[in-house]
Structure 1
Amino acid sequence: MITIVLLALSALAAPVANPLNKFKNYFVIVFENQNYDTVLNNAYMGKVLPSKGRLLTNYHGVTHPSQPNYIAMTSGSPKGVFLDFHANVDKRNLADNLEDIGKTWKTYQQDYPQDQGCFLSDQGDYYRKHNPFVSYVNVHNNPNRCANIVNAKFLDQDIANKKLPDYMFYTPNIKNDGHNTDIDYASNWLQGFLEPLLENPVFDDTLFVITFDESNAALGVIDFKGNHIYTLLLGKSVTPGSQDSTYYTHYSQIATLNEQWGMSMFNLDDYGAAGFDLQ
């Protein structure tokens, strides 16, 4: 019986046999603490961007506060992280699953206190809780993996060299992500940052995911809207001006990489998550 169960779990964890490969690169930008309706009422994010991409009208964060959502997004569950204190998570994560299928990854952190490497504190407008990869023990104890955590200024260099990693995780600073400001401030930054990327041919085969960590509900307060957050997809693999009402969560990002690249699921809270419908 034990052998049968182990074989079943192994089968569940296996990558898909025929990945769809509808995009070459994956670029996720994570903003902070805004309700879906608030973002939709913003001129740029609520009107301009949806005309260019696919609005996911039923996407949800998985918990409150911020940090557990980042951990869930990159490892298939909050991994016992319930608050925003510095966490050290000794579990598998996206770095493992991406490397298992030969995919490269990098996280671009705006206002990171050093050029690259694993900086384990907060400084200025950089907050560690919004940088999930540095919290994984098998990342911050590995210099080669730490080299994939870089100051966001190096995105320009990677673009110029036409050497984008397959998977990109971009964290704006605490002001530009809307955490210490508001949605108008964040969207103004996004417009200036994103529009040149959308026009750059180096990103022609990239799926952009614009999302938020959670809705604007404080820890311990009942969230009557179910952590409903704005998420939008951009790229040639989606139809401009389209909408999708499928129920998605942060785990859907993992499911999408499973379907599109053949990356293994973690089969934790991500089990059964729907991957993005790209059309």
Structure 2
Amino acid sequence: MRSCSRHTKALIAACLTMGVLAGCSDEAGTPVDGGPPRPPASQDGAVSAPVTKVLVVIEENHTLDQMHAGMPYLASLADQYGYATHWRARAHPSEPNYLAIVGGSTFGVTDDATPSVNARRVGQAQSIFGQALAAGKSAHTYAESMPENCHQWDHPEKSVGKPSYAARHNPWVYFTAERAQCLEDDTDLSTFAADAASDTLPDIGLLIPDLTHDAHDASLTEADAWLERQLAPVLAGDDFRSGRLAVVVTADEDDRLQDNTVLTAVLHVGLTHKVVDTPLTHYSLTRFMAEVIGVEPLGEGRGAPDMRAAFGL
């Protein structure tokens, strides 16, 4: 009996010790000193909810090395969660890459013309947004500095001043067969923070910085600071913490001086320091988004290298 009593006391002491240690931080990873919340620690291969949502953020015109060196916040997330070392954009200039990601094709587009010119090339094609909505899922584009929903021209127009919103970076506006849906769900950033904080981000989401915050017209440092502000509520939300949401940050193209390899970071709580050397492309992202919502990948996405398998999602 004395032996059993000693064992019981030891067990109680151990439990009390664990309780004290557990009280040092809350589930969200908030430090006891009142500092800012930290993203949850990730564990590669850890059990988490199936990925049911994807949020894509697209930066502009920089290589993998440039983004890793010039965007320390993004680099820290890429190192903490995962990134691809051989991710190739599809073309130059910007526009065909955006179309490739959401439509599975460049549609023969070789310039950055507005929808008044290039929407006819896209024709009646479907986008991943239209696919999602047709499948009973949700889709939304958040385009910074856009003056009205689904706006098809740069703003302000070049005749008036330097544009901050670029229509060529908002691919949904080129899919004329989905115009009514675009007018409903292609908006500015006004609801993004609230949607992120309330875990009501869509099943397929695209976050589009304006020309200052995507590093097109300003520095990578400024783009990085903006990205941190936008992602803070996302990474603190239950969707992300549970594993339901994967966040993909990439660039449309490189600086045209190398081989179009761009940094693509994949943020998910099931990943830890995941470095993927498998060759992947923007069409891999097309495929990934389709697979997450359970639809057939569009166009070149059908045969694209499997991003989901490469990252183990």
Q: Distance in 1 between the 2:255 and 2:185 partners?
A: 30
SS in 1 for 2:250: strand
Q: Distance in 1 between matches of 2:155 and 2:71?
A: 32
Larger RCO: 1 or 2 (CA < 8 Å, sep 6+): 1
User: Higher Cα Rg: structure 1 or 2?
Assistant: 2
How many Å apart are 1:104 and its aligned residue?
1.0
C-alpha separation between the residues in 2 aligned to 1:167 and 1:190? 18
User: Which residue in the other structure is 2:291 paired with?
Assistant: 259
String of CA shifts for 1:92-111, please: whole Å, max 9, x gaps.
22133223432210000011
SS at match of 2:141: strand
Residue by residue, what CA displacement relative to the aligned partner does 1:100-151 show, whole Å, maximum 9, x if unpaired?
432210000011102xx322211141110000001111122x2x44211011
Distance 1:270 1:47, change over 3 A: closer
- Match runs of 1:218-257 below 5 Å: 223=257, 225-237=258-270, 239-257=271-289
With over 3 angstroms needed to count, the CA separation of the structure-2 counterparts of 1:39 and 1:159, relative to structure 1, is: closer
- What is the letter of the counterpart of residue 136 of structure 1? F
Aligned-pair identity in percent equals 25
Aligned length: 247
Structure 1 letter corresponding to 2:130: D
In the TM superposition, what is the alpha-carbon distance from 1:207 to its structure 2 partner?
0.3
Q: Distance in 2 between matches of 1:35 and 1:145?
A: 31
What is the deviation of 1:46?
6.2
Q: CA RMSD in A?
A: 1.9
> Would you say the 8 A contact 1:259–1:275 is kept in 2?
no
- The alpha-carbon distance between structure 1 residues 46 and 132, as it changes in their structure 2 partners (threshold 3 A), is closer
CA deviation string 1:22-76 (max 9, x = no partner): 3121000000000111112135156411232111111010000000100111111
- Greater mean alpha carbon deviation, residues 148-157 or residues 253-262: 253-262
Distance 1:48 1:161 in 2: 25
In the superposition, relative to structure 1, how do residues 25 and 230 fare at CA in structure 2: closer, same or farther (>3 Å)?
A: same
Distance 1:45 1:158, change over 3 A: closer
- Structure 1 segments, 4+ long, off by >6 Å, are none
Whether the 8 Å CA contact 2:83–2:264 is kept in 1: the answer is yes
State TM-score, norm by structure 1.
0.82
Which blocks of at least 5 consecutive residues in structure 2 are unaligned? 1-48, 157-163
Instruction: Confirm or deny that 1:82 pairs with 2:82.
Output: no
What is residue 272 of structure 1 aligned with on the other side? 303
TM superposition shift of 1:190 = 1.2
Compute the TM-score of the two structures, normalised by the length of structure 2. Answer: 0.74
Over 3 Å counting, the alpha-carbon distance change for 1:261 and 1:202 in structure 2 is closer
Residue matched to 1:31? 59
- Deviations 1:237-257 (Å, cap 9, x if unpaired)? 4x1211101111110012113
Gaps of 5+ in 1: 1-20, 218-222
Q: Is the 8 A contact 1:39 1:45 kept in 2?
A: no
